[in-house]
Amino acid sequence: MQALNKLNYIYHSMPQDLEARQYDVLIVGAGPAGCACALTLKDAGLKVALLDKATFPRDKVCGDAIPGRAIKTLKSISPAYEDAFRKFANKCATRQTAIHYKGRSVTFKWVGEAYTCTRMEFDNFLFSLVKEHTDTAIYTDTLPHSFIQDNGGFSITSKNSDLVFHSRILVGADGAQSAVAKKLANRTLDRQHHVGSVRAYFKNVANLDPGTTEIYFDKKFLPSYLWVFPLPGNMANVGFGMLSSEIAKKKINLKTTFYDFVDQNPALKLRFRDATQTGDLEGFGLPLGSRITTLSGNHFMLVGDAASLIDPFSGDGIGNAMLSGKLAAEQAVHCFKADNFTAPLMSGYDRALTGMLGKELRARHKAQRTLSKMPFLLDTIFTACRSNSIKRIIQKGL
Ligand SMILES: Cc1cc2nc3c(=O)[nH]c(=O)nc-3n(C[C@H](O)[C@H](O)[C@H](O)COP(=O)(O)OP(=O)(O)OC[C@H]3O[C@@H](n4cnc5c(N)ncnc54)[C@H](O)[C@@H]3O)c2cc1C
């Protein structure tokens, strides 16, 4: 983090003739992390801008499982937003997960609530909340080109427009390939802490239960799994992901492996016999929260995938992204009250986030590593689950 305190990230010179649009907080990226940040800043009395390279609605490659933490975070920002989500129709309430392995299956009921909903719709729902309920200035189809730090904050130029922005605080919410994290935190890809994955939508997968998410393990790929997540309209989000270091080591072609997985599993083969794939099989990366990365520095914070916060065991990242966006907004308010934007004060965000997620992410990383080193544990779990009381204990741990 110390390296970041140096003003050493001047990449391009700023056009001198353009007047900068002045903001207190500029959020780059309008996914769940960026929107949660903008929603939390409502009524903070700050001038906020939200900038995204895409136009909404836009797709995001994902499993489309909306974890309970996402809804809890929305509620903690405002119960009205939670209400709006409950009224939002295009979702399935999922109450259990069926795990399939070697022809056997075991079902775990969830204690908390969870949903599935396409990211096209969920992210557009969050984006609409920002548009309708806050005074955030929104710039879509805007790709930042340079981030120039001066004593007062950051000047940001955009690639595809002549706009120039100046902001006291920059929030990097621009996802797994974050330009902000690369430029301000020298973020590089670490294959040990990164998952490569593919997903496609299918219609008419046989025996799909709208209340059940499904996971298929195969002993060749443990602890990786193929997921079948139900969506409204008899659709399913089906995908497969693997640690990127394993993909590189074993020279795995994810797309071929995905189709082989379905074809070589007798139960899946049967269920997909009359199913139709709608759209392409698309790939994207998951930066896992199993390593410590820079979260903030002078005048900036990183949130969501830009901060590598994805659960290393389940692959869930939406809830953590929203929580980090909310905490970053709270830190921004704190910085303005103290009129101090230096790294030592900004690191209050790091402490708040690691205080809430650190222990959990470490435990989930341990679970991921244990299963990859001791795949026989999965057999043990299946055997142990014959007993309902042991099953309940395992269920609590999940
Ligand atoms: C295949 C796959 C399956 C997954 N399944 C699940 C799941 O089922 N449940 C779950 O909870 N999580 C899942 N995740 C993780 C989840 O998708 C992410 O953790 C979550 O999207 C993070 O939100 P975010 O707001 O940080 O980033 P994003 O959702 O990626 O949003 C980033 C935003 O920034 C914009 N942007 C990107 N670059 C720039 C730039 N340079 N300038 C301006 N804007 C930019 C993008 O257009 C986008 O709108 C999955 C991920 C993958 C890849």
Residue 379 tokens read as: 């057999």
Q: Is the pLDDT of residue 398 over 80?
A: no
- 55 C-alpha to center of ligand 1: Å? 15
Residues 292-351: tens digit of each pLDDT? 899 999 999 999 999 999 999 999 999 999 999 999 999 999 999 999 999 999 999 999
Q: How high is the pLDDT of residue 181?
A: 97
Q: Is the pLDDT of residue 178 over 80?
A: yes
Which numbered atom of ligand 1 lies nearest the CA of 56? 49
Non-local (6+) Cβ contacts of 134 within 8 A are 38, 39, 41, 42, 48
Q: Is the pLDDT of residue 383 over 90?
A: no
Report the CATH superfamily, name and number, of domain 2-92+115-189+289-369.
FAD/NAD(P)-binding domain (3.50.50.60)
Chain CA centroid to CA 166, Å: 27
- 278 C-alpha to center of ligand 1: Å? 21
In whole angstroms, what is the distance from residue 144 CA to residue 357 CA? 30
Flag the least confident range among 181-195, 310-324, 384-398: 384-398
For the chain, give every domain's residue range. 2-92+115-189+289-369, 192-288+371-397
What value does the mean pLDDT take over residues 127-145?
Answer: 97
Q: Is the pLDDT of residue 217 over 80?
A: yes
Flag the least confident range among 59-73, 282-296, 378-392: 378-392
Q: How high is the pLDDT of residue 10?
A: 37
Q: How high is the pLDDT of residue 161?
A: 73
Which residue minimizes the CA distance to atom 6 of ligand 1?
A: 63
Residues 249-286: tens digit of each pLDDT? 999 999 999 999 999 999 999 999 999 999 999 999 99
Closest CA to 203 of 279, 95, 126: 279
As a dihedral over the C-alpha atoms of residue 274, residue 114, residue 121, residue 129, rounded to 10 degrees, the angle is 170
| Residue to substitute in 305, 320, 324 for testing ligand 1 pocket (most ligand atoms within 8 angstroms of CB) | 305
- The beta strands (E) that lie in 274-361 are given as 276-287, 296-297, 300-302
- Between the two ends of the chain, the Cα-to-Cα distance in Å is 33
- 322 C-alpha to center of ligand 1: Å? 11
- 336 C-alpha to center of ligand 1: Å? 28
Report the CATH superfamily, name and number, of domain 192-288+371-397.
D-Amino Acid Oxidase, subunit A, domain 2 (3.30.9.10)
Closest CA to 115 of 86, 73, 80, 77: 86
What value does the mean pLDDT take over residues 42-67?
Answer: 98
Higher pLDDT, 233 or 151: 233
Which numbered atom of ligand 1 lies nearest the CA of 64? 8
Say yes or no: CB of residue 289 within 6 Å of ligand 1: no
In whole angstroms, what is the distance from residue 321 CA to residue 194 CA? 16
Q: How high is the pLDDT of residue 357?
A: 98
Q: Is the pLDDT of residue 378 over 80?
A: no
pLDDT bin (cut points 50, 70, 90) of residue 189 is: very high
Instruction: Provide the pairing of β-strand 296-297 with 48-51.
Output: unpaired
Which residue minimizes the CA distance to atom 18 of ligand 1?
A: 317
Bridge partners, 166 (sequence order): 22, 155
Q: Is the pLDDT of residue 370 over 90?
A: no
Q: Is the pLDDT of residue 396 over 80?
A: no
For a pLDDT cut of 90, what percent of the chain falls above it? 82
Q: How high is the pLDDT of residue 5?
A: 36
Which numbered atom of ligand 1 lies nearest the CA of 198? 1
Tell me: cis bond preceding 57? Omega within 30 of 0 counts. Answer: yes
Say yes or no: CB of residue 325 within 6 Å of ligand 1: no
pLDDT bin (cut points 50, 70, 90) of residue 389 is: low
Residues 66-82: tens digit of each pLDDT? 999 999 999 999 999 99
Q: Is the pLDDT of residue 4 over 60?
A: no
Q: How high is the pLDDT of residue 397?
A: 60
Which numbered atom of ligand 1 lies nearest the CA of 142? 43
Q: How many residues does the chain have?
A: 398
Say yes or no: CB of residue 310 within 6 Å of ligand 1: yes
Flag the least confident range among 97-111, 172-186, 281-295, 319-333: 97-111
Please report where in the chains the tokens 């299963």 appear, as a residue: 371
